[in-house]
A and B are shown apart, each in its own frame.
Chain A
Amino acid sequence: MDLIRMKNVDKKYKNGVTAIYDLNLAIEKGSFVFVIGGSGSGKSTLIKMLYREEKPTKGQVIVGGLDVAKLKNKKVYKLRRKLGIVFQDYRLLPKQTVYENVAFALECIGEKRDIIRVKVLKALEDVGLKNKVHEYPDNLSGGEQQRVAIARAIVNDPKLLLCDEPTGNLDPEKSMEIMRVLESINKTRGTTIIMATHDKEIVNKMKKQVITLKDGHLVKFKQKGTYVE
């Protein structure tokens, strides 16, 4: 079954720039997909449309049965609860500990305290940070901070994990660490992962599905693809 379906999607920004032209796409549940392309190719726009940071100008975007384009601002939270998002800049709260940062995602949606505890510890274990529960983000390395962000994104057991250049700020070694974490999440939890990146090495090593974008057009959608310019 397809978790994501995009049909004839156009995205034109208010400043006149068209980021996506007539995109058709179907992504199966449980897949691990890279979205690659140079800057301005529309990678970020594609990711943003999936969590409704941006609305498509034309066409249909369906994520987990929700029509994103028709989703009212007030109802966006319904979509966001189905997915987790990881950014290049981590976006952690500096005054809260690792545990609190991850728990925050569940507190915000009114989860019970004891359930929060179980889920947070499980998520932190999955990203390999069980021993840093009470540290503050500033005391962690970049790779560790990104793993906290991943833990926060998966703590609510989302069907979909969106990653926008999650390794953009990290050196190759730490990047691979993050990739291993993502791969194990994809395997053990069955979470569908869509990751925008421009890191050739990672894409070539991982041998996952690859969507190649160029100037807003879909160039290729390959199983076990590699990075092609």
Chain B
Amino acid sequence: MKLFRMLGRSIRDAVKSVIRNFSLSLASISCITITLIIVAVAIIASLNVQNFTEAIEKDMTIVVFVENDAEKEEVEKIESKIKEIPNVEKYTYQTKQEVKEKMQEESEVFNTVLNNWEDEESPLKDTFQVKVKNVEKIKATAERIGRIEKVSVVRYGEGMVDKMVTAFASVEKVTYGIVIALVLVTVFLIINTIKLTISARKKEIGIMRLVGASNLTIKLPFIIEGMILGLFGSIVPVLITTYGYLAFYKHFDGYLYSKLIQLIQPEPFIYQTALAVIGIGILVGMIGSASAVKRYLKI
């Protein structure tokens, strides 16, 4: 009960103080707002990148073409050798007939073209489609398969995907740098806001101390004030990111450029992000005010 009374008092004091130092509070809130917008965009972007790189990696397959003159036993031998490789998760075998049927199903053009070919003159080959356990070692695995007898060509998404992932990773790093710098600026601004509040209430604090208010009781209003600033600062970023991402997702129909780059479903993703943004806002406010209280309220 007592705790609730003290908490109520602290919240009342904090709100009063936010209103009293309105201009500086507004500056802090705007700074938090800008920071959080960028933080939110960074979160959404990096989670999306993570999402589709994972999807791409899952999709990566080594395609092994078997030479046309391979006998049945030789194909079996290739199969057993593929099976031996530890990085191979699973594989499927398709004869050229099956490959042809599948291709015909997929496309009208292939259908007509492939119909003109007899089995003997078909350019298609029997294939193994190999999925690996660890995508990072896909190159070594592909090379190993390539050395097997009667294997003609081995293909996988060479380089392209890797380069894309690295590029995104470096963009992410730069974003993180900006976010950290902005967070620091925000914390600094909050420290100054709270410092002003503290100096405006020096007399009151002195009396509180004399009449036996505990240190926590004295500090709590200021910390809550910081949290309120953080909370207010997170309103606009939450709205922007929530509606922004919904619109973005709708506009691109869930895919970016190609079906390969799939966006994360907005629900419940945006709500989680919004919650994280609010949490970061409140936390930044709290850290700022706590450090101000520590620095300027040596009691």
Within 8 A of B (CB), among A74-95: 74, 76-81, 85, 91, 93
Chain B 181-220 interface 0/1 with A at a Cβ cutoff of 8 Å (1 = within): 0000000000000000000000110111111111101000
User: Which A residues are CB-close (under 8 A) to B213?
Assistant: 77, 108-109
CA distance A197 to B299 in the complex (A): 28
For chain A, the bracket of interface size reads 20 to 34
Q: Which of B2, B6, B9, B210 contacts A80 (CB 8 A)?
A: B210
Please tell me if the beta carbons of B211 and A74 are within 8 angstroms of each other in the complex. no
CA distance A110 to B204 in the complex (A): 16
User: Which A residues are CB-close (under 8 A) to B9?
Assistant: 107
CB-based nearest A residue for B5: A110
CB-based nearest A residue for B214: A77
A105 with B211, Cβ < 8 A, contacts A110-B2, A110-B217 known: yes
User: Which A residues are CB-close (under 8 A) to B217?
Assistant: 108-110
User: Which B residues are CB-close (under 8 A) to A74?
Assistant: 214-215
Dominant secondary structure at the B interface: helix
Chain A 103-140 interface 0/1 with B at a Cβ cutoff of 8 Å (1 = within): 01101111010000000000000000000000000000
Please tell me if the beta carbons of A77 and B204 are within 8 angstroms of each other in the complex. no
* CB of A128, distance to nearest CB on chain B (Å): 21
Please tell me if the beta carbons of B2 and A104 are within 8 angstroms of each other in the complex. no
Please tell me if the beta carbons of A73 and B6 are within 8 angstroms of each other in the complex. no
* CB of A221, distance to nearest CB on chain B (Å): 27
CA distance A105 to B203 in the complex (A): 13
A80 with B209, Cβ < 8 A, contacts A110-B2, A110-B6, A110-B217 known: yes
* CB of B16, distance to nearest CB on chain A (Å): 11
Within 8 A of A (CB), among B1-34: 1-3, 5-6, 9
CA distance A152 to B211 in the complex (A): 8
- B5, B204, B213 interface centre (most CB from chain A within 10 Å): B213
Q: Which of B1, B207, B212 contacts A109 (CB 8 A)?
A: B212
Please tell me if the beta carbons of A80 and B215 are within 8 angstroms of each other in the complex. no
User: Which B residues are CB-close (under 8 A) to A109?
Assistant: 211-214, 217
CA distance A76 to B298 in the complex (A): 13
* CB of B46, distance to nearest CB on chain A (Å): 42
* CB of B82, distance to nearest CB on chain A (Å): 69
Which 5 pairs show the lowest CB-CB distances between chains A and B?
A: A80-B212, A81-B212, A108-B213, A105-B211, A110-B2
Chain A interface residues (CB < 8 Å from chain B): 51, 73-74, 76-81, 85, 91, 93, 104-105, 107-110, 112, 152, 156
27 examples of A-B residue contacts, CB within 8 angstroms: A73-B299, A74-B214, A76-B209, A77-B212, A77-B215, A78-B212, A79-B212, A80-B209, A80-B211, A80-B212, A81-B212, A85-B210, A91-B206, A93-B203, A93-B204, A104-B207, A104-B208, A105-B207, A105-B211, A108-B211, A109-B211, A109-B212, A109-B213, A109-B217, A110-B3, A112-B5, A152-B211
In the complex, besides A107-B9, A109-B212, A110-B5, 6 extra interface pairs with C-beta distance below 8 angstroms are: A73-B299, A74-B214, A109-B217, A112-B1, A112-B5, A152-B211
